[in-house]
Amino acid sequence: MSGAGDRVSGTQSLIGLLRETAEESGGLVELRPGLSDARMDTWAAPVPEEIRVLLRAVGGIRIAFGRSRTDGGHLFTEIDFDEPLNEGKAPGGGDGSWYVKRAGGPGTHHFVHLDSAGGFVYVDVSVGGDGETSTWGPVFTFSDDNDTQRLADSLPAWARRTAECLRDAVREADGDVTKLSSAFSDSWREPERSGPDVLPVSAVDARTSADPVIRSVAEALPDDGALADFRDVDGCAQVIFQFPEECRFGRAHGGTVLTAVPLPYEA
């Protein structure tokens, strides 16, 4: 089977796992309806077929974490593959364009989750020279500080880890929403808590690197910029950029090199 065929087969098994987990959860895990190709075609960057296979089947995941004091119904946190922030709409209907800019600007990424702790989870997107194709790469998250993490090397990998943690949490919780929330959060966050730190390198120093990739990325940055090299890191890893102000992130070399420059910065 070809590499593309393997990926599609893996995505189909992921879809099956998500559906089985939602069915087994008794309403504690819900799947959003899949997205149409017409909808995905409106996004800022092209969506590759291997990503469309997942998103056609599952538009997002709703995970119960408690009960409403008003009506006793479940409260949900959501992974939304059609996150409104991608169109500059912040939660509550405010202007979220600043966060789009902070992640690199329209067409360079795609937000998939806004967590309750103020984290913004997004997928790196690299558009081809023809403007008609793209590669969706690693998954990252940033907060309102300058700490950031790489969570997985692809959206399917991140979604699979989520699905496996949900499956195990559903079985452990046995219908108890509080137990589900605790079990899921503990297992889902563990790789992020235990992942290695990647030290940033200033753009000035990186321009003298013996590594041609690092030199090339650094040449495109201003003197006050910095980068972090994730090429030799598997799974989750984090980096803290030591800027006195908030920074704007970017990615290069297929999303394996993360860049940052202090805001405001106009490319």
Quick: pLDDT tens for 239-252. 989 888 889 999 99
pLDDT tens digits for range 183-200: 999 999 898 888 899 999
pTM of the full structure: 0.92
Beta-carbon contacts of 245 under 8 Å, excluding residues fewer than 6 positions away, are: 262, 263
Residue-level pLDDT at 168: 97
Share of the chain above pLDDT 90, in %: 77
Residue-level pLDDT at 1: 46
Beta-carbon contacts of 125 under 8 Å, excluding residues fewer than 6 positions away, are: 45, 107, 108, 109, 110, 134, 135, 136, 137
Q: How confident is the model at residue 141 (pLDDT cuts 50, 70, 90)?
A: very high
Q: Are 137 and 153 in contact (CB under 8 A)?
A: yes
Q: How confident is the model at residue 143 (pLDDT cuts 50, 70, 90)?
A: confident
CB atoms < 10 A from the CB of 228, how many? 23
Hey, what are 37's tokens? 């190709």
